[in-house]
Amino acid sequence: MQRLGVLTSGGDASGMNSCIRAVVRKAIYHGIEVIGIKRGYSGFIEADMGPMNLGSVADIIHRGGTILHTARSKRFMTPEGRALAMENVDRFGIQGLIVIGGDGSFTGASVFHQEHGIPVIGVPGTIDNDIAGTDYTIGFDTAVNNVVDAINKIRDTATSHERTFVIEVMGRNSGNIALSAGLAGGAESILIPEIAFNLEDICSKLLSGIKRGKLHSIILVAEGAASGIEVGKQIKELTGFDTKVTILGHLQRGGIPSAFDRILAARLGAKAVELLMEGETNKMVGVRSGEVVATSLDEVIGKPSSISQDMYQLAKVLSI
């Protein structure tokens, strides 16, 4: 392996920069050149790429987002688009590709490998933490901390005004952010797409809480479970409580990556380079029970990891 390419794809996640830094520095340490590909598969097709050196990744370890930028590319989903990307692989002399992204990005990488034979390694970078083969994805911990920060602030107002607050968080198909942030932030109820809920039960819980002197209530709703605005309306109708709704939106994604995400990103980025050096392909690096491991992309793609039922039950018990 003399030259590898690296790109970030799909939604941005804090810690992607720490991962790019690890890939570049680990590769250069072993005498491998690195081509940075901008805007995910879009830049791959459009030859928006160039050499990276030690200085290219200086002073980025603490920055959210991705210096390579990210994009979603419809053209890469066609054989013609991927053939154009392959022309750039030849033109830039790339012998292996590291893709930092989520399930869709891995699907693209795997198809590209099957069609054109170039070795590919995936690194899980997505805030949802719903990728099989790894206990954590880069960006999840920072996103959870962002949500917990918001809960802390809203809690002050909720207590002062004795109000019920509904907070809608990200997670179209996954309740992981809502569940972890809800447990860490002490939410009264957590609504996630994986588990059916009954608003009347939630309201009875709110009413009995108020009866025993609770000053406020916080309901966390993953966007894939329900609309926060709708949930707020219905709670107000069913209980008569002054119910406020906050949709956190893109406040959750960015910001300074947590130490956890930076360490995860460093370990996974370095391992991805090692795998390419060992001649491996079509694998994703991940962390399981504290160890860095590699899993075939065939066992990862289209098999989202599920939420922890134990954590869900615990959050329920602790919010009686």
Closer residue to ligand ATP, CB minimum distance, 77 or 263: 77
> Looking at beta carbons, which residue is closest to ligand ATP?
104
- The yes or no reply on residue 174 touching ligand ATP (CB under 6 A) is no
Q: In this chain, which of 46, 104, 316, 319 binds ligand ATP, going by CB under 6 A?
A: 104
- Residue closer to ligand ATP by CB (options 67, 238) is 67
Report the residue from 1, 61, 84, 111 that binds ligand ATP according to the rule CB under 6 A.
111
Both tokens assigned to 113: 């490998």
Q: How far apart are CA 74 and CA 207, in angstroms?
A: 49
DSSP assignment letter at 89 = H
Determine, following the binding rule CB under 6 A, whether residue 10 of this chain makes contact with ligand ATP: yes
Q: Does 173 bind ligand ATP (CB under 6 A)?
A: no
What is the helix (H) or strand (E) element at residue 53, kind and residue range?
A: none
Candidates 5-13, 59-67, 152-160, 277-285; binding stretch for ligand ATP (CB under 6 A): 5-13
* Among 33, 48, 103, 188, interactor with ligand ATP by CB under 6 A: 103
43 near ligand ATP (CB under 6 A): no
Least CB distance to ligand ATP at residue 7 (A): 10
Report the nearest approach of ligand ATP to the CB of residue 111 (Å). 5
The backbone torsions φ and ψ at residue 304, rounded to the nearest 5 degrees and listed phi first, read: -60, 140
Is 88 one of the binding residues for ligand ATP (CB under 6 A)? Answer: no
Strand pairing report for 49-52 and 33-37: antiparallel
Instruction: Identify the residue whose tokens are 């709708």.
Output: 230
Distance CA 91, CA 160 (A): 63
Confirm or reject binding of residue 136 to ligand ATP (CB under 6 A). Answer: no
Q: Given candidates 5, 36, 43, 108, which one binds ligand ATP under the rule CB under 6 A? A: 108
Six-digit token string for 166: 């509904």
**Element housing 179 (H / E):** helix 176-185
72 sits near ligand ATP (criterion: CB under 6 A): yes
Contact characters 23-42, ligand ATP, x per CB under 6 A: ------------------x-
Q: How many CB atoms sit inside 10 A of residue 249's CB?
A: 11
Strands (E), 143-290: 164-169, 189-191, 217-222, 243-247, 283-288
| Secondary structure of residue 38 in the 3-state scheme | coil
Cα dihedral 277/283/287/293 (nearest 10): -60
Annotated binding residues, written as ranges, equal 11, 21-25, 72-73, 102-105, 126-128, 155, 163, 170-172, 186-188, 212, 214-216, 223, 244, 250-253
Sequence-separated (6 or more) residues with CB below 8 Å from residue 114? none
Q: Considering beta carbons, is residue 101 or 269 the nearer one to ligand ATP?
A: 101
Are the beta carbons of 139 and 261 closer than 8 angstroms? yes
Closest to ligand ATP by CB, 76 or 136: 76
Please, are residues 161 and 217 in contact by the beta-carbon 8 Å criterion? no
Smallest Cα–Cα separation from 216: which of 154, 159, 167, 168? 159
Q: Kindly state the smallest distance separating residue 274's Cβ from ligand ATP, in Å.
A: 23
For ligand ATP, the closer of residues 71 and 221 by Cβ is 71
Taking the least distance from each CB to ligand ATP, the nearer of 112 and 241 is: 112
What DSSP element (H or E) covers 244?
strand 243-247
Binding site for ligand ATP (CB under 6 A): 9-11, 41, 72-73, 76-77, 101-105, 107-108, 111, 126, 128
